[in-house]
Structure 1
């Protein structure tokens, strides 16, 4: 079984545990920070902007992260990333304990945490083949993929509960100690030295080649445009959840953690059952029905301001998100030529990263200026429009999901 890899392979088990603990700590920190900000400012604009800041380093530094991960000693890179983030969190925890924490501090902290952690994930991916035998790589990758889903489920739930008894400074310290724990795990790992060939091709030229390839493949271009636009209407829910909890339902941090956890739980359940329920389903039918249902959910949130309806709807929405994501990524795996996949997925990642901060900022601004319900309604209408767009993409109806990759969901 794949789980045996964690406790039988000492080095992989340490790597997995380091990631899991630090990701759960991140979830606790995120809830604490968001709840402090919402209660202090009641500003959707500020919430959207601070969430945007966390993605800006990914836009600027993301294309270089993989290159550095290939060239730098992985142990040094991982430990440095953990220690820098721990030091930042301890510093800002001290500031908070002095009752001097201001909103601008969170902008600085979020940006620095994101920048110092941008190289962590690609470096981890370079380490896995060095600590796992080739015949068990697929199991290792599945366990690696599960970490984020589990941490997104446990972190926010724990963070919401902790905010009842602890201050935001204590939450910062919990996340700091999670990074220190991660650094200790990495320190005692044994990682084989690895020499890899380095491409001389520039990152910008790779992106341009990927774009030229997409322009020639009509179905890829149409789906990529639709996939990118979908971010404009799906991502705002990340900003709107805390505002709904605080200002519409007048609930507390526990309920915020429950809602964040419900969205992640829906993703986990749909990801686990995807192959069973949707294998062989025409891709156009899957996308149209799932997107259409997502649109109804957004409109339902706008029309029925009830906490339990919202909680159940988020569970369903999380399932819709992962279903669309896996379906579209499966299409890309089937259609993109093998020699172009690196360039193509680099292009996809760059476009997605660039849209996230813009979308989050707009969502917060919209919630303040026209209202949360109205913003949710716009998300629903926009999703419906994209549903019709996907239904009209030529050639999409001829593709099915019979070749769904056995990767870890998301």
Structure 2
């Protein structure tokens, strides 16, 4: 028996028995924690310090800027990931993000920091992240064995929640104590540390695409982004459902600082608490998602329904316990959905198409982010934060119903046959939407 087999038998965590994946995963934790810390910190800085009137619009515009590159640059990202070494892309984007954050920190320390400069830095950092995230997802088969893909996906998706915990806890608190200069300096340190970690990792050669992969007449790996989606109709319908859902779930990042400021009358510590509740729930969901029974579409529909109730709670029952509990439950739903669907996509999408698919997935799912941020930001200047919570909840109902209807379609490839009584299903170790 090999050392690897012995490790698996002893259930040694993947990040310990596969040091290359562990280093890259830690690099992702650092980059996304920095991104989340910057996002939460700047959103709170705009609402509490930088803007007197139109706080909703200012924070909504900021969130829109921070999500726009992932949508606008999807074709460019796909070409870069298909043509360049993945380790080089990860290392370069992390280093560039560190340089941008460092320059912003120096500017903030030496003179007053104008709001447009923060928006510009946000755009640059989001552009780096738009390359980094799909590149790491695409690189998973180059770092782990096939039987470890689900585990690797769970660890990778847990980064979102770890970033939410660390970034949310630190972002608003750093702004309250050290201002935007301290915030930018902390982000720069995290990005540069990630670049150093990734620089020391050796990636495997990517597996060759299966013979016959792709549509007839298409050269594997050379299809357009729309061609990739056309060849995967069931995946395409799933992505449409989650795009519609994201139009309302994404608004939580605009609602949290507004709710804290207007409904609770609290400061950065409460923002950190609420963001931590959301992140903790997502972390738990990422590690428990594979244990949730049922096919991915059915489990996803139930999670969206539960998220509807969780987001409505602080709108119906104002107060810190209601919004903290609601965010924790909503975060768990996000984590479960993530781990179920991303691992599913890892198996459904041909290897040669993965760079393009994960870039277009990020673009499709993120297409609603800028729109949601602007709409909820504008609405926040005219409606109460409690009303925004109820609007979020109501908007998820159609998406949950549409995803439930997809469960009546063909069984996903790789899903187990029903066991026992008719309709009973064995839980599947497959994963989720990001």
- TM-score bracket for the superposition, by shorter chain length: 0.7 to 0.9
1:210 aligns with 2:235: no
- Which residue, out of 376, 384, 407, partners 1:363? 376
Q: Distance in 1 between matches of 2:150 and 2:296?
A: 27
1:227 aligns with 2:239: no
- Which residue, out of 41, 46, 66, partners 2:51? 41
C-alpha change, 1:160 and 1:400, in structure 2 (3 Å) is farther
Which residue in the other structure is 2:315 paired with?
302
Cα deviation 1:119-163 (Å, max 9, x = unaligned): 223443565555556665655444333333222222211334434
Q: Distance in 2 between matches of 1:353 and 1:64?
A: 15
Cα deviation 1:8-58 (Å, max 9, x = unaligned): 555444333333233333333222212111112261111111111122111
- Which residue, out of 282, 287, 293, partners 1:279? 293
Which residue in the other structure is 2:419 paired with?
none
Q: CA deviation at 1:175?
A: 0.8
Which residue in the other structure is 1:80 paired with?
92
Could you tell which deviates more after superposition, 309-318 or 263-272? Answer: 263-272
Could you tell which deviates more after superposition, 367-376 or 351-360? Answer: 367-376
Which residue in the other structure is 1:267 paired with?
282
SS at match of 1:404: coil
- Which residue, out of 254, 258, 271, partners 1:243? 258
- What is the TM-score when the length of structure 2 is the normalising length? 0.78
Cα deviation 1:159-213 (Å, max 9, x = unaligned): 3443443222011101101122222223333446779789857977441462476
Which residue in the other structure is 1:378 paired with?
391
Preserved contact between residue 144 and residue 152 of structure 2 (Cα < 8 Å): yes
Which residue in the other structure is 1:70 paired with?
82
- Which residue, out of 183, 187, 212, partners 2:195? 183
SS at match of 2:393: helix
Preserved contact between residue 283 and residue 400 of structure 1 (Cα < 8 Å): no
Q: CA deviation at 1:241?
A: 0.7
C-alpha change, 1:306 and 1:72, in structure 2 (3 Å) is same
Q: Distance in 2 between matches of 1:407 and 1:225?
A: 17
SS at match of 1:180: helix
Preserved contact between residue 341 and residue 430 of structure 2 (Cα < 8 Å): no
Aligned pairs for 1:288-299 (under 5 A) are: 289-299=302-312
Could you tell which deviates more after superposition, 196-205 or 248-257? Answer: 196-205
1:404 aligns with 2:416: no
- Which residue, out of 179, 183, 186, partners 1:171? 183
- Which residue, out of 308, 311, 322, partners 2:335? 322
1:60 aligns with 2:69: no
Cα deviation 1:355-382 (Å, max 9, x = unaligned): 2111111111111123322222222222
Preserved contact between residue 20 and residue 151 of structure 1 (Cα < 8 Å): yes
1:157 aligns with 2:169: yes
Q: Distance in 2 between matches of 1:408 and 1:287?
A: 9
Cα deviation 1:334-361 (Å, max 9, x = unaligned): 9x78799858766544322222111111
Cα deviation 1:313-335 (Å, max 9, x = unaligned): 1111112333455566688789x
Q: Distance in 1 between matches of 2:241 and 2:149?
A: 33
Q: Distance in 2 between matches of 1:221 and 1:133?
A: 27
Aligned pairs for 1:76-155 (under 5 A) are: 76-125=88-137, 129-130=141-142, 132=144, 139-155=151-167
Q: CA deviation at 1:252?
A: 1.4
Preserved contact between residue 288 and residue 388 of structure 1 (Cα < 8 Å): yes
1:23 aligns with 2:37: no
Q: Distance in 2 between matches of 1:38 and 1:387?
A: 32
C-alpha change, 1:3 and 1:150, in structure 2 (3 Å) is farther
SS at match of 2:325: helix
RMSD between aligned residues: 3.8
Preserved contact between residue 339 and residue 431 of structure 2 (Cα < 8 Å): no
Q: Which runs of 5+ in 1 are unaligned?
A: none
- What is the TM-score when the length of structure 1 is the normalising length? 0.82
1:253 aligns with 2:268: yes
Which residue in the other structure is 2:23 paired with?
14
Preserved contact between residue 283 and residue 401 of structure 1 (Cα < 8 Å): no
Q: Distance in 1 between matches of 2:303 and 2:285?
A: 12
Q: CA deviation at 1:89?
A: 1.0
